[in-house]
Amino acid sequence: MGSLSEGWTLYNAGGRHRVVVTRQLPGRRWLEILSGAGCAVEVYSRDEHLGAEEIVAAIDGRCDGCIGQLTELWGEAQFAALKAAGGSAYCNYAVGHDNVDIESATSHGIAVGNTPGVLTETTAEMAVSLTFAAARRVAEGDAFMRRGLFRGWLPDLLLGELLWRKTLGVIGVGRVGAAYARMMVEGQKMDLVYYDVVRNEALEECIAGYGSYLASRGERPVSCRRADTVVELLREADVVSLHACLDESTRHLIDASLLGQMKQSAVLVNTSRGPLIDEEALVAHCRANPGFKAGLDVFEDEPDMKPGLSELENVVLVPHLGSATTWTREGMAVLASLNVAGVLLGYPAWPHDDMRPFLVGRPPEACPSILNASRLGISTLNDR
Ligand code: DGY
């Protein structure tokens, strides 16, 4: 191992595997896991993002595995460099992996991990927060107070939208979308209309069960319906929340023409990936329709915003904080380290969605989540 470049910190110098981590991660357990697996860990400790070439340079020499960030591009150049350095494992410190070229990694025999399961409720809670913040004009009220404009209660001050018993539209009902749907339906007794290429029977059953419970108490039950098209959902919903993955089929899923299909008083929430919305079109739509509201955690050209977005009072903005709780970010670090350590130790892939066994006590001898496991011929724990 050569000498460390500026900005890098080395842990467990005597380790036999070299693991490069492009950003300091929260907590200590992830470092203990990698050290315990015999890894010397080099962490980029400066408060800035590494560029694509800097990542290639960091891998250079010998490198067995890497943990990277969703803000970095992991493509052919990075995976070729990792392969040439003797590497076999990469983990994205995220559940999303639109920044990773899995084809490329697979062609170089590199396992790609991600960190699902620990972001679900955390991100759903952020979507709920943005929904209410936008509908009830929380950011506008906060700014109003701070500017010293409050002169006393008024019948018509900053009136917003009541969500109780209205219609919720959720696009993408995977883990986060389904958790968000349940929070809003069970909390606010909203009727759900969802759009997804795959039917979510478990979610439908939960809502049917909740509906029966309401009926047993003499209340109107809630309903749940899978829409045939996105347009159908947009026309019907009072709140629309996006929870789809970003790929070529979902880029600009919500464009000017689809915004035009939404109710004028609707609330649009995005905690998935910014490019799902044509942000320029959203700025124009929000400007033309002051009653329309949006709550955004993610942006098309992160960290930048399209011109005009930050001036709109009917938009609530937060800086990609969906998973930003200590428990989740530490859990993500643990899963990322276990993915890399597991591949280096020759462990099989974990066959379950439940990640809790990895979070406390002695973790199972398995890689929590390897996206290309079957394509690389990595067995699953059950097969052994
Ligand atoms: C992810 O993991 O994909 C999230 O966007 C991080 O908050």
Q: What is the CATH number of the domain that holds 29?
A: 3.40.50.720
Claim to verify: residue 273 and residue 343 sit in the same structural domain = no
2 domain residue, yes or no:
no
> Could you read off the pLDDT of 16-63 as tens digits, one per residue?
999 999 999 999 999 999 999 999 999 999 999 999 999 999 998 999
Name the DSSP letter for residue 355.
-
1 domain residue, yes or no:
no
Please, which residues have CB within 8 angstroms of residue 212's CB and are 6 or more apart in sequence?
Answer: 221
Binned at pLDDT 50, 70 and 90, residue 3 comes out as low
**Cα(302) to centroid of ligand 1, in Å?**
13
pLDDT the model gives residue 5: 83
| Atom in ligand 1 nearest the alpha carbon of residue 115 | 2
147 pLDDT above the threshold of 50: yes
Q: Look at ligand 1, atom 4, and give the residue with the nearest C-alpha.
A: 94
Binned at pLDDT 50, 70 and 90, residue 382 comes out as confident
Edge-to-edge strands of the sheet including 65-68?
8-11, 39-44, 17-21, 65-68, 89-92, 111-113
Claim to verify: residue 372 and residue 285 sit in the same structural domain = no
Q: Tell me how many domains the chain contains.
A: 2
pLDDT the model gives residue 1: 47
Claim to verify: residue 150 and residue 28 sit in the same structural domain = no
* Residue 96 CB–ligand 1 contact under 6 Å: yes
- Kindly state the average pLDDT of the residues 356-362: 95
3 domain residue, yes or no:
no
Kindly compute the dihedral angle of the four CA atoms of residues 79, 80, 83, 85, in this order, to the nearest 10 degrees: -110
Claim to verify: residue 265 and residue 222 sit in the same structural domain = yes
> Could you read off the pLDDT of 295-319 as tens digits, one per residue?
999 999 999 999 999 999 999 999 9
103 domain residue, yes or no:
yes
268, 286, 317 - which closes a domain: 317
Claim to verify: residue 178 and residue 251 sit in the same structural domain = yes
Q: Look at ligand 1, atom 1, and give the residue with the nearest C-alpha.
A: 94
2 pLDDT above the threshold of 70: no
* Residue 271 CB–ligand 1 contact under 6 Å: no
Domain that holds residue 273: 120-317
**Cα(129) to centroid of ligand 1, in Å?**
17
Claim to verify: residue 357 and residue 371 sit in the same structural domain = yes
4 pLDDT above the threshold of 90: no
54 domain residue, yes or no:
yes
Claim to verify: residue 144 and residue 187 sit in the same structural domain = yes
Residue 303: is the preceding peptide bond cis (ω within 30°)?
yes
Claim to verify: residue 87 and residue 235 sit in the same structural domain = no
Claim to verify: residue 300 and residue 232 sit in the same structural domain = yes
- Kindly state the average pLDDT of the residues 154-168: 98
